[in-house]
Structure 1
């Protein structure tokens, strides 16, 4: 009789951002939905989520994904709960308003690292300056295994039902990106965490590490972001310049709260010299890569209706914190 592997994954209690954890549960029957996956437990004292004298934590399944990387396997994304039945303090997913009308797109940048340096970097010194690496083709630009890894990862994610909208080599040597879009305030964040898990697991066999720090290379090299594209029912259907300007005022007012939620060490990346506005300022612009929030030309032409792109979240940020902070600011602006 076939056995099925259910890989329960969750976020630990490390700060400033959590790590992924996972362990395999063996089942006699394939789950048809997440409701078929029972709650499970783990030792929270080993993940900075409990004291050793009372170490039980609960894994509550919330999403189920097919796992094409293993035979007869599934990935079970879980929230962490206390034995009392309350969400664990590190469970930021439980704090997000579950709004099906919120659509989120996240652009996850990352570096592939081997022997302590980005793929393609020489043992000593640096490769050619950035310029030809972005969407590059050929060994000189992307090396010998980076595209293979990115393509394998894409297939794993698509097989898992994750809605990738694209992948590409990025501006710095050894830097890549994938984009995920989903409807519903929690779905894209879920999918990014599972995509991160699949990427990290995949690269184990290549001896490659995935670096999510926002600025692993000092100097004139791009850092890594996780731009957050978002829209709501109101932004898509009604919008309007007056509402948009009030929304931008709210984002400006909450600048410090956003930066706190958008990942550690962002001051190293948000310098105003590369990807976006300086960390101590807020601005918005039409098709402006140097703005904090960028809007497409189509947004303005369509009477300020559509989606916005917050360029400040960094690659290491917890997607749940990013989405939660964006929604909290949107909710401050009345729609009537």
Structure 2
């Protein structure tokens, strides 16, 4: 796996990404304009998207760049953003200025001392802006005294990754999510009832089995354009539920990519008038929940005979169940209480377990890994609304730093 410098997204990959941009915008425009086929009660679908496209065709000054600064608010699971115009094209995050915002409006500061600092950390190309140099900037957040805000899990994760740098930790994250109507019901479900039981929907095809595929495909194209290590997508077990994957990526990139991909997903859904929820158990009863299964490996695990290193890491994880449950959802386990029931392809929240090719355990070793005797393991406990920085941090500190 080769990592790509963020600056390359603005230069060497420009021509290679132009076709992706064209595909995204064509699909984005055609499907957004068909909003009446989606949610008639969402005000966003009433807007004529072709008006915005008319302005997107206007040329902007070559030396002016629109930068969308993203950050995680005080809930630990929602994205906020604001835009600023730069007077030069940045080649790395070091060229980007720090910024501030009103933390009292994002659950992160008191009104009498509300200025909260945004520190740029990663650059992505922006699929929503017309300029080829316009960017998305993933930031983390700091209080006025320079200390990380409570919801800034990235700072601790970065410190852990730096300590474990020689181990070359890789992460791949499987993000499950559910599409909702504006009334909170899963998108495409009958208004006064339920769809047929689970079975035909996973990786399905057909109008009676799959809902909003256009939205999903637009998201994939936009993520590829942005420079995310986007690995794939599929319909999930519950109707109106989908999954996409990012990684495998070295160090911090998978977690940064996941947050930016979530932002892109919400933005596209916003124009359709569809609501995206990362709730780990959006529907009670015999319906699958949603997770963010996290695949983890090190240089030793990927080498010949790596199964020994994998089993050693799993042994360490077995002794830290409570710590990881607290780290794996933003409410320190309360969200996962509704999902990790020991049923519907989940393990029990109270008991650690592992196995080969078993989707009802805490940690799964894929069949191909067991056969090869090397590779990675999948931690199936993180919830769909987890903070990936907290998840990656916990895995490194338990498995590599022996904390």
Give the alignment's TM-score, normalised by structure 1: 0.93
Measured after TM superposition, the shift of residue 240 of structure 1 is 5.1
Structure 2: runs of 5+ lacking an equivalent: 1-60
Measured after TM superposition, the shift of residue 84 of structure 1 is 2.9
Distance 1:242-1:206 versus aligned 2 partners, 3 A rule? closer
- Per-residue deviation, residues 151-188 of structure 1 (Å, max 9, x unmatched): 00001100011011110111101000000004222110
Aligned length: 329
Match of 2:254 in 1: 188
Distance 1:241-1:176 versus aligned 2 partners, 3 A rule? closer
Measured after TM superposition, the shift of residue 8 of structure 1 is 0.3
Match of 1:107 in 2: 174
Q: Does the Cα contact within 8 Å between 1:113 and 1:209 map onto a contact in 2?
A: yes
Correspondence 1:131 to 2:190:
no
Whole-Å Cα distance in 2 between the matches of residues 76 and 240 of structure 1?
A: 36
Whole-Å Cα distance in 2 between the matches of residues 315 and 121 of structure 1?
A: 21
Whole-Å Cα distance in 2 between the matches of residues 54 and 133 of structure 1?
A: 50
Measured after TM superposition, the shift of residue 314 of structure 1 is 1.0
Q: Does the Cα contact within 8 Å between 1:246 and 1:333 map onto a contact in 2?
A: no
Match of 2:120 in 1: 61
- Per-residue deviation, residues 96-124 of structure 1 (Å, max 9, x unmatched): 12255110000000001113111110111
Match of 2:360 in 1: 290
Q: Does the Cα contact within 8 Å between 2:77 and 2:385 map onto a contact in 1?
A: no
Q: Does the Cα contact within 8 Å between 2:336 and 2:383 map onto a contact in 1?
A: yes
Q: Does the Cα contact within 8 Å between 1:247 and 1:333 map onto a contact in 2?
A: no
Q: Residue 260 of structure 1 is aligned with which of 321, 326, 347? A: 326
Aligned pairs for 1:1-336 within 5 A: 1-2=61-62, 3-14=64-75, 17-72=76-131, 73-96=134-157, 97-98=160-161, 99=164, 101-114=168-181, 115-143=183-211, 146-237=212-303, 242-263=308-329, 264-303=334-373, 305-332=374-401
Which secondary structure state, in structure 1, belongs to the residue aligned with residue 315 of structure 2? helix
Whole-Å Cα distance in 1 between the matches of residues 402 and 116 of structure 2?
A: 38
Q: Which runs of 4+ in 1 moved over 3 A?
A: 238-246
Higher helix share: 2
**Mean Cα displacement is larger for which, 229-238 or 249-258?**
229-238
Which secondary structure state, in structure 1, belongs to the residue aligned with residue 247 of structure 2? strand
Which secondary structure state, in structure 1, belongs to the residue aligned with residue 391 of structure 2? helix
Give the alignment's TM-score, normalised by structure 2: 0.78
Measured after TM superposition, the shift of residue 284 of structure 1 is 0.8
Structure 1: runs of 5+ lacking an equivalent: none
